[in-house]
Amino acid sequence: MFPNTESIIRLIGAVLQDDHNDWSVGHRIFDMKEYYDKLSSIQSNLLKIKAA
């Protein structure tokens, strides 16, 4: 079916790359913006406490 070893390696590589691309740009379950907003708020509150 495949003329040589390199051809099957290229095919497998292409399939893996396509799967990786689909996974890396897919729907994000956890939104980091909300996390960083809360982290920023906590840090500013800590700085206020330390300054007092």
CA dihedral over 41, 43, 44, 46, signed as positive or negative: positive
* Mean of pLDDT values over 11-36: 77
d(CA 12, CA 9): 5
Residues written for the chain: 52
Query: Is the backbone of residue 28 left (phi > 0), alpha (psi -120 to 50) or beta?
Result: beta
Which runs of consecutive H residues, i.e. helices, occur in the chain?
Answer: 5-24, 32-51
Position 18 pLDDT exceeds 70: yes
pTM above 0.95, yes or no: no
How high is the pLDDT of residue 22?
67
